Amino acid sequence: MFEILFKDDELVGINKPAGMLVHRSNIDKHETRFVLQELRNQLGQHVFPVHRLDKPTSGVLLFALNSDCARQLSEQFTANQIDKRYWLVCRGHTPEKGEIDYALVPKNDFKSRDGKPEVKKPAQEARTLYSSKAHYELDESVDKYPTSRYSWVEAQLVTGRKHQLRRHFKHIAHPIVGDSRYGKASHNQFFERKWACSRMLLHCYSMGFTLPATGQQLHLIAPPDEQFMAALKGLEGYRL
């Protein structure tokens, strides 16, 4: 059962668990559990996806309950009118505040069916704002340095590109812990050994948007899961 953050006659917001695809995809053909299907079964009614979170990302996820609401919410996402804020833990000490303005080439997870080389698409504008919530330093050598540094960060998506936060924090040399694609295996394995944290530490903590039916602003907050909080609690003893 998913944690319901909000529900009315037009939409529902849930706290998506890490490790689940939003809907069926050729990316993971072996998967048998999908948020879309299980939420439909939980509510006993059809739901319309209006955005997505990566499989390893947790947090606020919205679904419309009718096609009109789905269209209006999708328009808000397309126009970057949704206030999306994430918590993440990354390697190294980030600046107290910053902006990452780095265009991203669209990612395609699917191979060409006809075997022809994929046509490279132009880079798209991508902007992320962030602020550091805490810095940590552990007297343990995980990589090539005698100590290991990490940051707990709140990030705000100004644009919404695929894997934007994962790619942006890799770009500034602060990859997200637990990210098997853009992160560093040594740090991912360290968190799993030390705090039994096997997930990517990226969580959509809050989301603000306009209710299509009333025009009122709604702000949803999703608490992180036990693994995420165990990592933060474990790091707390090393806060600078």
Active site residue 28: no
> Cα 56 to the chain's mean position, in Å?
7
- What pLDDT, on a 0 to 100 scale, did the predictor assign at position 193? 96
Give start and end residues of each alpha helix (H) in 162-214: 164-171, 185-195
Instruction: Check residues 158 and 115 and name the one with the higher pLDDT.
Output: 158
Contact by Cβ (8 Å): 74, 218: no
52: nearest Cα among 171, 154, 204: 204
pLDDT (average), residues 104-112: 70
Confidence (pTM): 0.92
Q: Is the pLDDT of residue 110 over 80?
A: no
Measure the N-to-C terminal CA separation of the chain; round to a whole number of Å: 38
Contacts 24+ apart (CB under 8 A), 193-197: 194/234, 195/227, 195/230, 195/231, 195/234, 196/227, 196/230, 197/227, 197/228, 197/230, 197/231
Tokens of 202: 């990226």
How many whole angstroms separate alpha carbon 140 and alpha carbon 158? 36
List the catalytic residue out of 8, 28, 54, 83: 54
Q: Which amino acid is it at 188?
A: N
Q: Which amino acid is it at 206?
A: S
pLDDT band at 115 (very low <50, low <70, confident <90, very high): low
- What pLDDT, on a 0 to 100 scale, did the predictor assign at position 144? 87
Phi-psi region of 59 (alpha: psi -120 to 50; beta: other; left: phi over 0): left
Q: Is the pLDDT of residue 5 over 80?
A: yes
The vertex-53 CA angle with 51 and 54, nearest 5°, equals 135
- Which stretch of 103-117, 136-150, 209-223 has the lowest confidence by average pLDDT? 103-117
> Cα 218 to the chain's mean position, in Å?
20
pLDDT (average), residues 82-86: 96
Tell me whether strands 48-49 and 11-16 are parallel, antiparallel or unpaired.
unpaired
